[in-house]
Structure 1
Amino acid sequence: MKSLKYLFILLMALPVVGQDFQSKKDKTLWNDFTYDVGNIFGGVGHAYSRPFHWKGNDWANFGYLTGGTLLLFTVDDQLNDWKNGFREDIPDFVIDYGHEYGSPENNYMLTGGVYLAGLFTKNEKLRRTGVLLISSATAGGFLQQVSKRIVGRARPKSGASSSTFDPLHLDRVYDYDSFPSGHAMLAFSNAYAIAKQFKNPWVKAGIYTVGLVPGFVRVMDDFHWISDVAFSTVLSIFIVESIDRYLDSKYDEKYNDNEKKLSWNLSFGPNTMGVSLRF
């Protein structure tokens, strides 16, 4: 009778042991990698599908973004003339950094490096950060490439005004691919995603500042208008936030549980307009 009791306990324990062994077996480098790749594509698809699920506040935020871009559009030429007065005062290393950091090849070297570090060290939080970086860059990068061909806005260095357009081209038309700014979008996507790892507001502000440099430099060197960069920067925040919330359901490690959603505040006064974004 006692032997039957032991046999019963053993049979009950076998499924538990088997499940534990299976979970350890499934936790391989290859399985982690394929899981993460699936989440990268899932994150991109999630970001693109969000407008179909927007509600009142979401449409209000998009309206603020559109309205702010249009307001900047009306003064792009004047702002471009004004900034030419201090272009030579900017150090060369800032200009070089701004052009190089926001380029797609350098962007994916950084994001890929972060992801691989997390993968090989089995650090889920770092893996998730890498997935967020890669999927945000992919979603924003593809969107801006398509938008450039549809909008066909003249770059400042073309000599044309900010209201000059040559839209709807399958191939990229150089000097008419100003809107939106790919450098600004990629650079600030990275900065915004990385800043999520920190709670200190000064650290966040420092990271955001570094992320804003490529967009600033592209304006200074006549590759983009201010409205191009402003739109791209805010849109990158939308993309990162959307994908990050999607990844909450895919990974145990979360770092935005206590974060508030985006909130906007518009203020108007005599000859002034203010827009604040709280994140």
Structure 2
Amino acid sequence: MDNLSKLFRCLTVMFFLLCSLFFHGIPSAEAGNRSTGDILEDDVARFAHDFRSIFSSPAHFDGSDWMTVFAVAGTATAAVLWVDDPVREYMLDNRSGFMDDLVSVGDYYGKLSTGYYLGSTLYVAGIVSEDEWVRYTGRAVLEAHTFSLLITGILKAVTGRSRPYLFEGNKQFNWFEKENSRWSFPSGHTTAAFAISSALSRRIDRPWATTGLYALSGITVLDRIYDDKHWLSDTIIGAAIGTAVGLAVGKMINEEEARRKKGGLESLNERPVELVHFSLSF
């Protein structure tokens, strides 16, 4: 890896650390009233609660919710299937040194390890500094990253879509595959990138941060197609999964933080979070 690529990666990490340390408002002193053991025990319980909320949500969908999910997912996938090949050919025909360096940032941002490095760093920094906002943000990244990739991992194995470099076409779904070369749908890198960006966007809640975060996720989309690892349609669904889970987790964490600031948390027996919600008026 050349020095320019290393610089891009360092700047990416520094960007998030600066966001976390300087743009979150007044730190809460509540953490100082509990031991580290109490904090860890509470966060493990909350992590498990949030996991149940995310994964039990579909069990509470009604017919309309399921129709919305299938309609949106099916329409989005079908709409881009016909441009998968042209987009792939364009990317492969327009390689350059600049693009090589640019997409390396997207590749790094979408890696499995990046989300855990970033989330863990923020979480530990929040505990050490007794800063509730930073700790909550670290947990939001870890939760969004983990939950969204579990969903994507299951879909990969079930659908068994062939990756572009196998030259089997974009309609080759083999179903229940174990080989990574047939785990194209959805894109795991894209899922991770959008999950992290969405969770951080909810936490930072600044227009400039949201713009920068989603632009960074967009570079991950470019990387997956540019490196011939995924079809465009793989990245669209990966982005949808990451965004839905990241925003849902960010919302739960924000509400948890607000309740604690008001004097404590209620029972963990709360209703599942809404992953799909549309309001239409005529």
TM-score by length of structure 2 reads 0.74
Per-residue Cα deviation, 1:220-260 (whole angstroms, up to 9, x for no partner): 11000001101111111111222234335533379xxxxxx
Correspondence for 2:125: 117
Distance in 1 between residues matched to 2:98 and 2:121, nearest whole Å:
30
**Structure with more relative contact order (C-alpha pairs < 8 Å, separation 6 or more):** 2
> What CA distance in whole angstroms lies between the structure 1 residues aligned with 2:179 and 2:211?
36
Distance 1:245 1:191, change over 3 A: closer
Rg comparison, structure with higher value: 1
Equivalences for 1:10-29 in 2 at 5 Å? 27-29=34-36
- Which residue of structure 2 aligns with residue 163 of structure 1? 171
C-alpha contact (below 8 Å) 1:117/1:127 kept by paired residues: yes
1:6 corresponds in structure 2 to: none
| Match of residue 45, structure 1, among 36, 52, 58 | 52
Contact preservation (8 Å) 1:132, 1:193: yes
Q: Equivalences for 1:185-264 in 2 at 5 Å?
A: 185-248=191-254, 250-252=256-258
Calculate the aligned-residue CA RMSD, in Å: 2.7
Q: Distance in 2 between matches of 1:155 and 1:89?
A: 24
Name structure 1 gaps, 5 residues minimum.
1-22, 255-260, 266-279
Secondary structure at the residue paired with 1:175? helix
Whichever residue aligns with residue 101 of structure 1, its letter is: Y
Partner residue of 2:80 out of 57, 72, 95: 72
More strand per residue: 1 or 2? 1
1:61 to 1:147, Cα distance in 2 relative to 1, 3 A: closer
1:181 is matched with: 187
Are residues 192 and 121 of structure 1, via their aligned partners in 2, closer, same or farther at CA, if it must alter by over 3 Å? same
State, as a whole percentage, how many aligned pairs show the same letter.
Answer: 22
TM-score (norm 1): 0.75
Structure 2 unaligned regions, length at least 5: 1-29, 261-275
2:137 to 109, 120, 129: 129
| Paired residues of 1:39 and 1:247 also in contact (CA < 8 A) | no
Q: Measure, in 2, the Cα distance between the counterparts of 1:64 and 1:143.
A: 17
- Kept in 2: contact 1:149–1:167 (CA 8 A): yes
- CA shift at 1:153, angstroms? 0.3
- CA–CA separation in structure 1 for the residues paired with 2:279 and 2:258: 30
Partner of 2:115: 107
Say if 1:40 and 1:134, in contact at 8 Å, map to a contact too: no
What is the alpha-carbon distance in structure 2 between the residues aligned to residue 246 and residue 199 of structure 1?
A: 14
Q: Comparing 86-95 with 27-36, which one deviates more in the overlay?
A: 86-95
Name the count of aligned residue pairs. 235
Distance in structure 2 (CA, Å) of the matches to 1:46 and 1:240: 13
Q: Distance in 1 between matches of 2:52 and 2:92?
A: 40
- Given that 2:118 and 2:141 are in contact with CA atoms closer than 8 Å, whether structure 1 keeps it comes out as no
Question: Which letter maps to 2:45?
Answer: G
- State whether residues 85 and 170 of structure 2, in contact with CA within 8 Å, keep that contact through their aligned partners in structure 1: yes
Does the 8 A contact of 1:148 with 1:179 survive in 2?
yes
Match of 2:161 in 1: 153
Which SS does the other structure have where 1:168 is aligned?
coil
Contact 1:125 1:253 in 2 (8 A): no
